[in-house]
């Protein structure tokens, strides 16, 4: 009996000794895994957890690592979808996992580009800002800023096109339609206004500007030829004879007020009638009231209205106003 107990004890001790050696290896792997896990080195920790034969709560750690792996994959997908803030939140929670730190640095760079782009945008440096918003790769509201800048650029280019075509009023509307100073749009607006002061008008512009002064239609240019050498008649019998150049701009004009019409008008009415024709040649040069106040300087003096000079004389009771273009500022 004593011998049996001694043998049994030896077997038990031997078995315990083998088990202790296995436990030691598992424990070492487990402890390495936990240490790596605590350092945020999850991929490395996983390798050791898989070697510890399920020691202690290894299964819990592996489940957490699996969750981290899933989160990492989700974060990468967020980056691909340009949902950077959500991706950043995940990556910063596991900065040592895989290449999370590279993604963190990448997103930090996008954020820096966006912030600098916003600063330049607020300073009106739109094209410099645009380059940074492009580099921000859809970070935050960069795409919205890009759309705004592109829309402004399109309107600006349209304004330049109109200006180069001599359509200065339309160009001003386009530049002002941008809603802010874009590049040199304020300077171009000033240039358009300056050119409007001495811009000659076409026959159609002259007719349109004249008729617009009588919105009730009581007086209008209603008939005549519209060739380069034109003859027109208004509804009161005033005859307009003139010439236009190859570009369609009027360079000479003769306006005959019949004696019958003159006799029906008092001095103020006649002055207004003359001024309406002069004003139609360039409604942008000054206001109508300003024109009336200086009318004598234009028809009796040497003052130039826009790009036209004027003279007036009596021919058998008819009053004739003659006008000649004296200089042109159309580019």
Q: For residues 254 and 322, is the Cβ–Cβ distance under 8 A?
A: yes
pLDDT tens track of the chain, all 331 residues? 444 444 344 434 344 444 456 679 888 888 888 888 888 888 888 788 777 677 888 878 877 878 888 889 999 999 999 999 999 999 999 898 889 999 999 999 999 999 999 999 999 999 999 999 999 999 999 999 999 999 999 999 999 999 998 889 999 999 999 999 999 999 999 999 999 999 899 999 999 999 999 999 999 997 787 788 999 999 999 999 999 999 899 999 999 999 999 999 999 999 999 999 999 999 999 999 999 999 999 999 999 999 999 999 999 999 999 999 997 544 4
| Cα 274 to Cα 16: distance, rounded to the nearest angstrom | 125
Antiparallel, parallel or unpaired: β 318-325 and 239-244:
unpaired
User: Residues 142-149: contacts with CB within 8 Å, 24+ apart?
Assistant: 142/113, 142/114, 142/117, 145/117, 145/118, 145/121, 149/121
Which residue is associated with the tokens 């820096």?
Answer: 112
Q: Sign (positive/negative) of CA torsion 142, 148, 152, 154?
A: positive
- Strand-pairing partners, residue 157, are none
User: Residues 36-45: contacts with CB within 8 Å, 24+ apart?
Assistant: 37/61, 37/64, 37/65, 39/96, 40/94, 40/95, 40/96, 40/97, 41/96, 41/97, 42/68, 42/69, 42/94, 42/96, 42/97, 43/97, 43/98
pLDDT at residue number 149:
98
pLDDT at residue number 21:
60
pLDDT at residue number 157:
98
- Domain extents in the chain: 19-98, 116-198, 203-325
| Cα 97 to Cα 91: distance, rounded to the nearest angstrom | 8
Give the 3-state secondary structure of residue 232: strand
pLDDT at residue number 226:
79
| Cα 10 to Cα 177: distance, rounded to the nearest angstrom | 99
User: Residues 228, 301, 238, CA angle at the centre, nearest 5°?
Assistant: 40
Q: Biggest alpha carbon distance in the chain? A: 163
| Cα 13 to Cα 214: distance, rounded to the nearest angstrom | 122
Q: Sign (positive/negative) of CA torsion 21, 27, 30, 36?
A: negative
| Cα 239 to Cα 310: distance, rounded to the nearest angstrom | 16
């Amino acid at each position: 009996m004593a011998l049996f107990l001694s043998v049994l004890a030896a077997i038990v001790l031997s078995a315990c000794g083998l088990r202790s050696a296995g436990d030691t290896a598992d424990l070492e792997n487990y402890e390495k895994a936990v240490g790596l896990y605590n350092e945020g080195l999850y991929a490395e920790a996983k390798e050791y957890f898989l070697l510890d034969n399920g020691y202690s709560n290894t299964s819990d750690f592996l489940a957490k690592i699996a969750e981290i792996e899933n989160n990492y994959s989700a974060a990468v997908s967020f980056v691909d979808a340009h949902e950077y803030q959500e991706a950043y939140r995940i990556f910063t929670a596991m900065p040592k996992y895989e290449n999370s730190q590279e993604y963190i640095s990448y997103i930090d760079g996008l954020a820096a580009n966006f912030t600098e782009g916003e600063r330049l945008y607020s300073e009106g440096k739109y094209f410099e800002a645009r380059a940074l918003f492009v580099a921000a790769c859809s970070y935050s509201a960069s795409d919205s800023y890009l759309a705004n800048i592109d829309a402004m650029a399109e309107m600006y280019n349209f304004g330049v096109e109109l200006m180069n075509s001599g359509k200065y009023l339309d160009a001003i509307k386009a530049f002002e339609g941008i809603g802010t100073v874009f590049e040199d749009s304020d300077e171009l607006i000033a240039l358009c206004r300056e050119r409007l002061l001495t811009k000659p008008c076409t026959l159609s512009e002259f007719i349109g500007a004249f008729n617009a002064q009588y919105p009730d239609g009581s007086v209008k240019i209603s008939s005549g030829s519209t060739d380069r050498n034109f003859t027109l008649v208004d509804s009161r019998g005033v005859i307009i004879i003139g010439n236009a150049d190859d570009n369609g701009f009027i360079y000479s004009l003769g306006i005959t007020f019949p004696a019958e019409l003159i006799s029906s008008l008092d001095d103020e009415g006649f002055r207004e009638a003359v001024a309406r024709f002069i004003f139609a040649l360039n409604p942008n040069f000054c206001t109508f009231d300003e024109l009336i106040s200086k009318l004598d300087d234009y028809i009796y003096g040497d003052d130039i209205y826009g790009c036209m000079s004027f003279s007036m004389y009596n021919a058998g009771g008819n009053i004739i106003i003659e006008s000649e273009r004296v200089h042109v500022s159309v580019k």
